[in-house]
Structure 1
Amino acid sequence: MVTVPTEYLSHEAIKKKSYTNLVEARQKAEVAGQEADLQESIRNFVRQQCNGCTPYSWQVDAAEAFTLGLDCTIIAGTGSGKTLAYVMPSFIQKDGMTVVISPLKTIEEEQADQFRAWGIQSVAVNGDTYNQDLHKELEDLKYQILLASPELTIENPQFNALLCSPAFQKHVLGYIVDEAHCISQWGGDFRPVYAKLDRLCSFVPLGTPIYAMSATISPAVLAEELCIIAGSTDYSALDFIVKDAQAANEIPRALIFVNTVSQSQAGFWRLHGIVSDQLKSQISYLNARRSPRTRKTVLRDFCEGKIRVMFVTKIGGMGLDIPDVELVIQFGVPSSLPVWLQRAGRAVRNFSLQGHAIMMVEASVLQRVSKKKKGRTGEENLESEDELEDSDHEIGIEKDPMYRKKIQ
């Protein structure tokens, strides 16, 4: 947990300063007559709402900092419980609202469902759901957590005007920028609105915290491996996943991340073609070119165990929270090391299980460097969420399989 802006300090120095800020804020709150033991209250509410589960100390620290109005950056491994850290204040401040800036509609909808199951009134606010009826419900303060897209938050005049209105602002507990690594990874030509999220500071009142949340490491139970494959079309390297399987339970629960839409389809057809007819339904794929209805159905079936193996692209796989995934494969070198760490963290989110994350690296990556093609022009930028997908002409990657990617 970091409650100070990033500085050129050591990790230990930043951590020490952060907790000094928290202690000072706690002391000021006690002098002002606020609840003396806020942390214990948070723990009790979490136990009541989450089937007796006790939150980690760092989660309680983050929730307390949020409640006391401190800006905070939370960096914790995928699956470690970052979401609960910002939800906990809603357990004890039921008349307040938290606005979550979320990168994808599917994440917004899934988290809204999860929060409602915890007894928190929540809603996804995006281009598919936002209308006059929902706007009226927001004005009437019907919800505790709003999960909104960055486009709607920054660029929609009506919704932004609501966020800026004093009547609304006095009920806002704070703002959460979820998957904050998207600011640097997507804030250029890919999804420019992410580069504009600094505008939050122009209308969020002083004392209303802004949280940035991301993951940088995978769970400790994860065994990471490296495998060299012949090339970017060497889908036979994946055959081991389904080889000799006679029943569905003999196929591991697997997520296979690929870098392009065509790879998700080609990999699917490879495994689909080598399994018996009774097991073909156990394999599927998820990318932004599938219809919203199909994506929702495929994701639901995978979550329920009706699908064992799923090929996913960047958009298809972001935000997946499925605890029993045993195997994560990155097929081909990703664009950066943080991307790999994010994806590797999708395995064994239930810490009682064991799992593997395997990166399959094209042999050509280790052989030579080729010239890179020019990226898209500004006029060719992607314009809608459904188009925000790695294409077969990914910027900086040659079609010729003989290339070497630079991993940032």
Structure 2
Amino acid sequence: GKTPYPWQINVAEAILLGLDCTVIAGTGAGKTKPFIMPLFVQPQRVVLVISPLNALEEDQVSGRQVRRLQPLTYVGRAIPRDGAQSTSMTSPEMCLQHAKFRELLSSPDFAAKICSIVIDEAHCISQWGKDFRPEYAKLGTLRFFVPVQVPFLVTSATLPSPILSEVRHNVHLEKEYTYHVHLGTDRPNIAWFTWTMKGGKKDLESLGSLLLAENTTVLDVPQTLVFFDEINVAIEALKHLRKRSSRVSHPYIQVYHSQRSPRAKKKLLRRFRNDNIRILLSTEAAGMGCDIPNIVQVIQFMVPESLAIWMQRAGRAGRNRQTNARAILLVQPTVFQE
């Protein structure tokens, strides 16, 4: 295995000492390892990881199994018969809405086993907690279900100061008594570009000419993830790109969004991971945490709501640090008029 970085050892030690921790580090920096490391010292204990998306959770579970780290269970809509495993990954809704799960957390026997509670992709507390998924804003109530000495580990690639303050307030983190790591978001293996569009969301030609230039086939395109803010625009882009390419290449262009079935999303991610999809058009559903190392290019179709969102999405590229990756932001003309 790989030797941990000093900051990973420090975070793991802080958790073992019962200190709350906040970790800000770019995608692919190794934020997951400190989740697991305390269990090598206390293998009888449990780490609860709260993560935003089912696909992300299942992807990280399979990834952990492949890398042969500590056993990890994805707790979706039901609790495993033998309770939580040494590392259990679940959602805010499962923690706060599922009566049996809350009962498990409140059980003295189980609560005594909890090593830490990890909130992954913690910027979602601010980004989603107000309306889209209000349970995110209530994650601090987990403090009332577990012993006071259970530390919280909060991680994200993007936590600007105002959002970090909001997260600390929601999760009841006291700045003076929290171990804080900020590694920055620099990704030296990603080259950053902007591409000016001719129009707004209907200007799919800008995307088509960028991806499929003259005499370029889909199979010539490096593995690419394209982000959209609206499902219907992603679907229209799928139609447009397929019209520009031969029918035999259509299976290599796919769309991934929250309205697809769990089975379909899982199948798409597996195909994308195995390089059987060259261009994956996606909404936020694939924007966080899916650790697919062979993505060479990330494109954002139109400027997103914030720079933090773009940094999160662009960070899907070049997870393999040996890959020279690209992040391309397609900018609509109205941005320059504001």
Q: Shorter-chain-normalised TM-score: which range?
A: 0.7 to 0.9
Contact 1:330 1:340 in 2 (8 A): yes
**1:235-384 equivalences in 2 (<5 Å):** 235-239=204-208, 240-243=210-213, 244-246=215-217, 248=219, 250-368=220-338
Task: Give the letter aligned to residue 50 of structure 2.
Answer: I
Aligned to 2:124: 182
Larger relative strand fraction:
2
Contact 1:331 1:361 in 2 (8 A): yes
**1:84-123 equivalences in 2 (<5 Å):** 84-117=33-66, 118-123=68-73
Aligned to 1:213: 155
What CA distance in whole angstroms lies between the structure 2 residues aligned with 1:222 and 1:113?
Answer: 26
Partner-residue secondary structure (3-state), 1:137 = coil
What CA distance in whole angstroms lies between the structure 1 residues aligned with 2:10 and 2:188?
Answer: 22
Contact 1:218 1:342 in 2 (8 A): no
Residues 93-115 of structure 1 show CA distances to partners (whole Å, capped at 9, x for unaligned) of 22110001111111111112222
Contact 1:63 1:88 in 2 (8 A): yes
Match of 2:203 among 230, 234, 247: 234
Residues 166-223 of structure 1 show CA distances to partners (whole Å, capped at 9, x for unaligned) of 1001111110001100001111111111111110222221221101110022522211
Contact 2:102 2:145 in 1 (8 A): no
Deviation at 1:119, TM superposition (A): 4.3
What CA distance in whole angstroms lies between the structure 2 residues aligned with 1:93 and 1:252?
Answer: 43
Contact 2:56 2:286 in 1 (8 A): no
Alignment of 1:169 with 2:111, yes or no, is yes
Which structure has the larger Rg over C-alpha atoms?
1
Deviation at 1:247, TM superposition (A): 6.7
Contact 1:66 1:174 in 2 (8 A): yes
TM-score (norm 1): 0.73
Task: Give the letter aligned to residue 330 of structure 1.
Answer: Q
Task: Give the letter aligned to residue 76 of structure 2.
Answer: N
Change beyond 3 A, Cα 1:198–1:338: same
Contact 1:326 1:355 in 2 (8 A): yes
What CA distance in whole angstroms lies between the structure 2 residues aligned with 1:360 and 1:242?
Answer: 15
Residues 269-295 of structure 1 show CA distances to partners (whole Å, capped at 9, x for unaligned) of 111111123322211110011111111
What CA distance in whole angstroms lies between the structure 2 residues aligned with 1:119 and 1:319?
Answer: 17
Deviation at 1:92, TM superposition (A): 3.2
Structure 2 gaps, min length 5:
159-184
Structure 1 gaps, min length 5:
1-51, 369-408
What CA distance in whole angstroms lies between the structure 2 residues aligned with 1:144 and 1:185?
Answer: 29
Contact 2:302 2:332 in 1 (8 A): yes
What CA distance in whole angstroms lies between the structure 1 residues aligned with 2:92 and 2:5?
Answer: 29
What CA distance in whole angstroms lies between the structure 1 residues aligned with 2:332 and 2:117?
Answer: 41
Change beyond 3 A, Cα 1:290–1:348: same
Deviating above 6 A after TM superposition, structure 1's stretches of 4 or more consecutive aligned residues are: none
What CA distance in whole angstroms lies between the structure 1 residues aligned with 2:35 and 2:286?
Answer: 24
Task: Give the letter aligned to residue 235 of structure 2.
Answer: Q
Match of 1:126 among 76, 85, 105: 76
Aligned to 2:89: 147
Partner-residue secondary structure (3-state), 2:32 = helix
What CA distance in whole angstroms lies between the structure 2 residues aligned with 1:320 and 1:122?
Answer: 16
TM-score (norm 2): 0.87
Change beyond 3 A, Cα 1:121–1:160: same
Contact 2:61 2:73 in 1 (8 A): yes
Aligned to 1:7: none
Contact 2:194 2:331 in 1 (8 A): yes
Aligned to 2:175: none
Asked which structure has the greater RCO (Cα within 8 Å, sep 6+), the reply is 2
Identity of aligned residues (%): 39
Change beyond 3 A, Cα 1:119–1:82: closer
Task: Give the letter aligned to residue 276 of structure 2.
Answer: K
What CA distance in whole angstroms lies between the structure 2 residues aligned with 1:353 and 1:332?
Answer: 25
Task: Give the letter aligned to residue 219 of structure 1.
Answer: R
What CA distance in whole angstroms lies between the structure 2 residues aligned with 1:257 and 1:203?
Answer: 37
What CA distance in whole angstroms lies between the structure 1 residues aligned with 2:328 and 2:149?
Answer: 44
**1:48-87 equivalences in 2 (<5 Å):** 52-87=1-36
What CA distance in whole angstroms lies between the structure 2 residues aligned with 1:292 and 1:203?
Answer: 30
Instruction: Report the number of matched residues.
Output: 308
Contact 2:121 2:288 in 1 (8 A): no
What CA distance in whole angstroms lies between the structure 1 residues aligned with 2:186 and 2:310?
Answer: 9
What CA distance in whole angstroms lies between the structure 2 residues aligned with 1:168 and 1:292?
Answer: 30
What CA distance in whole angstroms lies between the structure 1 residues aligned with 2:335 and 2:194?
Answer: 13
Contact 2:50 2:120 in 1 (8 A): yes
Task: Give the letter aligned to residue 84 of structure 1.
Answer: K
